Amino acid sequence: MIMKLEIGGVMMNVVSAYASQVGCAMGEKEDFWSELDEVMNSVPKGQKVLIGADFNGHVGEGNSGDEEVMGGYGVKERNEEGQRIVDFAKRMDMAVVNTYYKKREEHRVTYKSGGRCTQVDYILCRRVDLKEIEDCKVAAGESVVKQHRMVVCRMMLEIKKRKRVRAEPRIKWWKLKNEDCKVEFREEVRQALGGSEELPDSWETTADVVRVTAKRVLGVTSGKRKEEKETWWWNKEIQESIQRKRMAKKKWIVREIQKVDKSTRR
């Protein structure tokens, strides 16, 4: 599953995955990695990606030969499924975040069952974004399911400030809806054209006269862009729903106040 979030102008893609277990058929495992490759290839290069997954593999402790995609703080030894995780990270230029932070084993082990303690749940991010990760550890005592423990990652995004674009001043043509403005504008244009009822042969000359006269008679906007709620979801239906909610809250508050008054009188 992939979820896209826009945070302060930064597009973040959060991927949740669950790899096939060790005992599953090889074809099923290949299908999983093939689908995950497709998901990653569908994300534009400039966007950030975080993968949180139960990969059912052990990348192991140490990072000899794999320094570009993982740190040295895994758990125990690597197995075949763990090698698939490392190969995927190299293929997609990603990093296995869990392994970069020196923690006690209690904060690295993600799976406990029957006395077995392993690390099978990982968070991956693009290597170029690794510098924005501040911490990653297992929340001791917090369990998602009976055996798995929650992995928490803290990331500090650098929000890009949007440059305010100054809009060009516009002629206030809408004033022509007013009859007085319409009459005044018509007379001013006629006078600017020499009082003749006939238009000059040059359209450019006529257009310039119309524009100059309009700026003088009708005026122009300031050029400041108004901050309005013009997103795709801010439509009439949503606004009416919000208004109903506000009215319902006001009625509820009045009822609560009345209840308090009655109880006080008693």
Kindly report, as residue ranges, where domains of CATH 3.60.10.10 are found in the chain. 2-155
* Distance separating alpha carbons of residues 52 and 10, to the nearest angstrom: 19
Are 163 and 176 a contacting pair, CB within 8 Å?
no
3-state SS assignment for residue 79? coil
pLDDT tops 80 at residue 141: no
pLDDT of residue 162: 67
pLDDT tops 80 at residue 228: no
Q: What is the pLDDT of residues 16-71, one digit of tens each?
A: 999 998 889 999 999 999 999 999 999 999 899 999 999 999 999 999 999 999 99
The overall average pLDDT reported for the chain is: 87
pTM over 0.95: no
pLDDT of residue 266: 64
SS (H, E, C) 148-169: EEEEEEEECCCCCCCCCCCCCC
Tell me the CATH class for 2-155: alpha beta
Highest mean pLDDT among 116-125, 219-228, 250-259 belongs to 116-125
pLDDT of residue 264: 67
* Distance separating alpha carbons of residues 223 and 201, to the nearest angstrom: 33
Across 71-101, b (16+ Cβ under 10 Å) vs e yields bebbbeebbebbebbbebbeebebbbbbbbb
